[in-house]
């Protein structure tokens, strides 16, 4: 008969498997991936975190390669996607925050991205790269696709990757009515001018940046 701690661990495993969409053959791998060093100095997630870091890097690299882009663009995108904040957000979306097995009350924010890497590493160790790639695509990359695109930031990254001067924005016209304001903005980039419109100066600049990106990338 299982004790209370074993029943609790079984519940955690079941919840994480359901959220991740992957069922482990070796449940101990998942338990280890969720175990902070404050709970165990030997059977914790640190080694799986190391493995998961490489697995995520490869999965993201392959995803970016399949979508196309210059080496500079892909490198910059990968660096963003595998950084602490996106991994932390993916971890929180999966509910891993509630399922970290720990020996102290507060394990720190870094643990959230670390445990996500460890779970990816555990899935790779249990089911191979295809399973880990599916997990990363579902929990990290799909969320990235749903996020609003920062066109101004993307345009700046594009010109920096190509060694060109930074974009220059100029609000050409503002008007409309108090209830429906309209702004027209130009952006000068790579020796060309692109125009955007919007209900605010910021929206017009985003629209101009999008026009520039769409043109420069095709």
Catalytic residues: 53, 117
CB 151 within 8 A of CB 81: no
Interior/surface letters 115-129, b for 16+ CB within 10 angstroms, e for the rest: bbbbbbbbbbbbbee
Q: At what angle do helices 110-127 and 84-94 cross, to 10 degrees?
A: 70
CB 169 within 8 A of CB 205: yes
How far is residue 108's CA from residue 96's CA, in Å, rounded to a whole number? 13
Helix (H) or strand (E) holding 27: helix 27-33
- Residue 194 CA: distances (Å) to CA of 104, 191, 210: 55, 10, 9
> The tokens of 175 are what?
């008007």
Q: Please list, in sequence order, all residues whose beta carbon lies within 8 angstroms of the beta carbon of residue 87, skipping any fewer than 6 positions away.
A: 56, 112, 113, 116, 117, 140
């Amino acid at each position: 008969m299982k004790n209370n701690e074993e029943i609790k661990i079984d519940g955690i495993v079941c919840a994480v498997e359901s959220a991740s969409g992957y069922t482990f053959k070796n449940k101990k791998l998942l338990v280890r991936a969720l175990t902070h060093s404050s709970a165990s100095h030997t059977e914790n997630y640190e080694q799986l975190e190391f493995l998961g870091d490489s697995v995520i890097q490869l999965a993201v690299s392959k995803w970016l390669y399949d979508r196309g882009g210059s080496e500079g663009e892909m490198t910059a995108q990968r660096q963003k996607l595998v950084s602490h904040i996106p991994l932390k957000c993916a971890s929180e979306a999966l509910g891993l925050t509630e399922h970290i097995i720990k020996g102290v009350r507060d394990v720190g924010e870094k643990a959230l991205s670390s445990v996500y890497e460890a779970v990816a590493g555990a899935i790779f160790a249990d089911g191979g790269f295809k399973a880990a790639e599916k997990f990363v695509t579902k929990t990290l990359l799909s969320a990235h696709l749903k996020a609003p695109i920062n066109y101004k930031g993307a345009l700046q990254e594009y010109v920096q990757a190509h060694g060109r001067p930074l974009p220059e924005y100029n609000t050409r016209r503002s008007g409309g009515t108090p209830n429906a304001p309209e702004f027209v903005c130009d952006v000068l980039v790579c020796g060309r001018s692109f125009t955007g419109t919007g209900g605010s100066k910021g929206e017009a600049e985003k629209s101009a940046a999008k026009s520039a990106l769409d043109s420069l990338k095709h």
